[in-house]
Structure 1
């Protein structure tokens, strides 16, 4: 793929597009003063090839341009228009694509309407370039994602911006951006022809097979651990089953098959029926009877206490009455004194305020008391009989209460036995449940492990076959061999430009691991950053990319057939010269040799390589002037030419 034209369309569509035309298969030089937009050309080409972030300058492009378009031609003669609208923000995904034959040209401003996106644009360009349906698979264990190889990676070999072509440590376009260096390492073997979809597919299958081996090994190890756990648990369950009466005569050290069979026997034992008992009702009856007997016993104790109190009080009362009666009987000894006037004091013969009782009154009282004592003596036998009856009834209640206690104690002992028996039944049922669960996880003593062992062996066989196949690929060695062919061209051209460290027997090459230049000397290897001076940095960038593209074109590799360079002669001028073509102190002989090499390489590739250079230099040589595609310097009328036409800004 080579470039035919680059067009910028004004935002209002009223202006004619600004068109910059290129010559395929030749050296194309765009020269001019600084700040004319030369560096923007490379960024616009990169953007039109599908880059999401354009990295374009804000002014004056931001104020004027509405669309960018690129007309490209492929090796088979087909053409494509690749157009992108100026992004409103930092990025845009919109695109316009049109395909056709050699009659296809740039579209009119009114025809530019987004009809696809950047990803589809890259896909169509990749298909026309001949990039195969190749999905790069990162090595197993890395934290990277697979991606489809496309022109997005191929374009990284086609650009050298002003700050890249003079870099002291890096060699490729956008190499310092996140993920770009790794993308170059991942795809460079493919673009060199050292690896293709077949090798990538075998590498992918090998990675998948190795993952399957690891997975099969993990499953086998897990099964073995589970087998060990099941064997240990199985023996434990056998001992428990023996203790609970589900098994008998269990061997001391059974093997796995015996454990499995005995557990099934324990599981086949019919479950013990639940124990039904009326002990609870009987215990409640005895407790009710006990409460009743205790209440009755308390009533008899209260009655006996009452009788006892009556008895004691009666004894005390009758004893006092007997004593008083005995005292009163002495009145029977009185003679004439019985008739004494009780109203007169016998001592002083004075009248008493209250008359004393007469002897007859006292005798009457004594007789009545004697009668009452006789009556009390008659009641005593009845009371004794009642007391004996109460005591007998109490003793009967006490005996019944004692019997109740014995029955209740026996019932509680029987209940504890039934509870223990019930608990044993429950333990046996629970144990059978554990046995069933263990057997459910253990589908067979040895079958699963045997199957997993066979699966692991089968996966290992697949890995062995794929390793043997991929060993023949040896992509790293093949990549280094092709880089060695490129190094031969680099070394020859470095000596032509008389770059530092290019003397024999030193050899210049590309380090695949570091993606930088390396000088191989007999005593050591010199990295890129130590070759010294901007002249050498620029020179080695030139020879490296020229050699790389010459190799790609020789082997018809699917990389765009152009190399775009910005300011390759910057090392020979002071910083930001207004017009390097008029600078008297430049090493014009070396500058001429640099451009002459670019011219000769395009001739060497016989029209298969297009080189586009944006630079300040303007050499008078005929071959240089023939390569000019535009000169952005003031014309005879003083009008300053640039990427953005002056009248667009007015």
Structure 2
């Protein structure tokens, strides 16, 4: 895959898109002054290939651009448009894709819609450049998540921004970001051809087999440990079962076989059960009956008290009547005095203000009192009979209360017995649970034999997979391919006369360090120990040129372009406005660097595309032929840039 064009669309959708064309299979140089947007080209291409955020610091781009589009071509001459909208926040997952033949070009602004997303875009690109369906599975215990290898990892080999190309501590794009170094170490062997889905599948199966072997070993160890524990604890469980009545006739000193047999008997024994009784309802009935009986007893006590009061009042009344009658009966002793005038005092013969009652009236009153006394004496037997009836009925109520109390006491006793039985059943269930757990953990001889066989099978399977993994040792194969890349790196490092290259027997890439390492008779020398930014940039150049040359010769699934930002920055003091105006720069070395880029492109015969964004503008014909844009002031004073001047009006 190579780049054909990059397009920026204004946010109003009306202006003509800003299109930057690239030449496939050639050196493309975008030169110009500072602050013209050259460095942003690399970030935009990275964003269009599926990166979530564009990381564009230029406010003019953020204020004017609504869509970014990239036109790419593939080895089969098909083309694809990859467009991403400007993210409204920190990132966006929206995308626009279109595929076609060699006639496909940049779309019009009104054609851009959200018809895809980042995941689909990456999947389509990955398939078209030949990345296999490869789900990378980290080694067992690595502590990181598996992932699908895609264009997201392949693109890391295709970019070098101005901070990365001069970094002496890191060699690859975004390597210093969290987790990226490990991602590069995981995927670089695949992109070099040293590893593939088959090796990953074997390693995954090996990890699964090793986990199965450890699990089988744990099961066997647990079974042996529990069997040893059973020898010590089994007899104690037997004694507990015997104390709760689950076992009888237990030998004094049973052996291991007898202990296991007794434990199985105790586990099969059924505890004593009681018929379920609805004691709560019966207790409620008895309490309700007792309440009613007590109310009835109180009513009878009140009735008897009333009868007793009537009896006492009757006796007092009849006694008074007898006393008065006895007094009145003295009138029967009178003779002629009965005829005495009641209007005159019999003692002084004086007239009375109020006449005395006559003897006749007193006699009549006596007769009336006698009749009343006779009637009162006839009621006394009736009251006594009623009183006796009340006492008899009260006695019945009292007997029923006594019986009710006895029933309640019996019910409480039954409740206590049931509670004791339930507590015993709980103890029995607890003991049987302990026995069941002990028997479950303690396997028989046949169980132990089966576990040993399972362990032996997993060990054989693991050993077979380990042999297969050893046969295709990914690390050794990766080092062999990196050694092939080192051949070109060494020659080109010596050609550029980089620091330390003259004494080096080999200049290569260390997979462990993800950096350039020089091998010398005196020992290895990493890039971190080599001074000068010129050397850092030079070694980055030769490493990536040799890497991409190897990838192209071996037809590996990595995009066939390399984008470099400011590879000559170390040759100019500070940050020049226009490097072309600096006279005292080391133009010989700058020319040598660009000449190497041009020669490597020619060496790959159209399979590699190099895009360079830089301040330099050499006069050599081959350099000028490679220039795709010169963003410097024109004759009318207007300056070319990534964002057209009229977009800022």
Please state which band the TM-score falls in when normalised by the shorter chain.
Answer: 0.7 to 0.9
Helix, strand or coil: the match of 2:163? helix
2:439 is the alignment partner of 1:440: no
Aligned to 1:595: 594
Output aligned runs, 1:270-309, within 5 Å.
Answer: none
Deviations 1:383-417 (Å, cap 9, x if unpaired)? xxxxxxxxxxxxxxxxxxxxxxxxxxxxxxxxxxx
Corresponding position of 1:546: 545
Alpha-carbon separation, structure 2, partners of 1:455 and 1:535: 62
Q: 1:270 to 1:475 in 2, by over 3 A?
A: closer
Q: CA deviation at 1:430?
A: 6.4
Residue 207 of structure 2 is aligned to residue 207 of structure 1: yes
Matched ranges for 1:454-603 at <5 A: 454-603=453-602
Asked whether the equivalents of residues 29 and 612 of structure 1 are also in contact (C-alpha less than 8 Å), the reply is yes
The answer to whether the 8 Å contact 1:247/1:266 transfers is no
- Between the two proteins, the alignment pairs up a number of residues equal to 507
Contact 1:266/1:432 (8 A) holds in 2: no
Matched-pair contact (CA < 8 Å) for 2:240–2:431? no
Partner of 2:608 in structure 1?
A: 609
Using the size of structure 2 for normalisation, the TM-score is: 0.74
- Structure 1 residue 244 displacement after superposition: 6.3
Q: What residue ranges of structure 1 are gaps of 5+ in the alignment?
A: 275-420
Q: Pick closer, same or farther for the CA change 1:192–1:424 going to 2, 3 Å.
A: same
Report the secondary structure of 2:481's partner residue: helix
Report SS of the residue matched to 2:485: helix
Aligned match of 2:2: 2
Q: Structure 1 residues 433, 107: CA separation in 2 closer, same or farther (over 3 Å shift)? A: same
Q: CA deviation at 1:432?
A: 5.3
SS of residue in 2 equivalent to 1:128: helix
CA distance 1:264–1:526, shift in 2 (3 Å):
closer
Deviation at 1:449, TM superposition (A): 3.3
> By how many angstroms is 1:520 displaced?
0.8
Shift, 1:465, TM fit? 1.0
Any unmatched runs of 5+ in structure 2? 275-416
Secondary structure, aligned partner of 2:63: helix
Structure 1 segment 8-23 matched on structure 2, within 5 A: 8-23=8-23
* Aligned residue in 2 for 1:363: none
| 1:271-420 → structure 2 map (5 Å cutoff) | none
Match of 2:626 in 1: 627
Cα drift, residue 159 of structure 1: 0.4
Tell me how far apart the structure 1 counterparts of residues 241 and 163 of structure 2 sit (CA, whole Å): 83
Measured at CA, do residues 267 and 575 of structure 1 come closer, stay the same or move farther in structure 2, by a change above 3 Å?
closer
Task: Between 514-523 and 239-248, report the one with greater CA deviation.
Answer: 239-248
> 1:431: how far off?
6.8
Q: Could you tell me how far apart the structure 1 residues matched to 2:418 and 2:109 are?
A: 96
Question: Alpha-carbon deviations, 1:32-53, whole Å to 9, x = none?
Answer: 0111000000000000000002
- Structure with max Cα Rg: 1
C-alpha deviations, 1:207-236, integer Å up to 9, x for none? Answer: 111111122222332333333334433211
The equivalent of 2:127 in structure 1 is: 127
Q: Secondary structure at the match of 1:611?
A: strand
TM-score where L is the length of structure 1? 0.74
Residue deviations 1:320-356, cap 9 Å, x none? xxxxxxxxxxxxxxxxxxxxxxxxxxxxxxxxxxxxx
- Mapped partners of 1:499, 1:136: distance in 2: 37
Map of 2:63 onto structure 1: 63
2:64–2:648 Cα contact (<8 Å) kept = yes
Partner SS state of residue 163, structure 1: coil
Distance 1:143 1:94 in 2: 31
How far is 1:10 from its partner? 0.6
Paired position in structure 1 for 2:249: 248
Over aligned residues, Cα RMSD in angstroms?
A: 2.5
Query: Which position in structure 1 is the counterpart of 2:163?
Result: 163
SS at match of 1:60: helix
Change (3 A) 1:426 1:3: closer
What is the deviation of 1:424? 12
Moved more, 542-551 or 461-470: 461-470
What per-residue deviation string (whole Å, max 9, x for no partner) do you get for residues 73-120 of structure 1? 011111100000011122111100111111111100000011111111
* 1:43 to 2:39 alignment: no
TM-aligned CA deviation for residue 26 of structure 1: 0.4
What is the CA-CA distance between 1:645 and the residue it aligns to? 0.6
Query: 232-241 or 522-531: which moved more?
Result: 232-241
Deviation at 1:269, TM superposition (A): 6.3
Q: Counterpart of 2:189?
A: 189
Between the aligned partners of 1:95 and 1:425, the Cα distance in structure 2 is 75
Cα deviation for residue 422 of structure 1 reads 12
- Indicate how the Cα distance of structure 1 residues 239 and 483 shifts in structure 2: closer, same or farther if over 3 A, else same: same
Which residue of the partner structure matches residue 111 of structure 1? 111
Give distance in 2, aligned partners of 1:582 and 1:453.
81
SS in 2 for 1:131: coil
How far apart are 1:263 and its partner, in Å? 2.6
Q: Does the CA contact (< 8 Å) of 1:493 and 1:543 recur in 2?
A: yes
Asked whether the equivalents of residues 494 and 501 of structure 2 are also in contact (C-alpha less than 8 Å), the reply is yes
Cα pair distance change 1:13/1:244, threshold 3 Å: closer
* SS of match in other structure, 2:3: strand
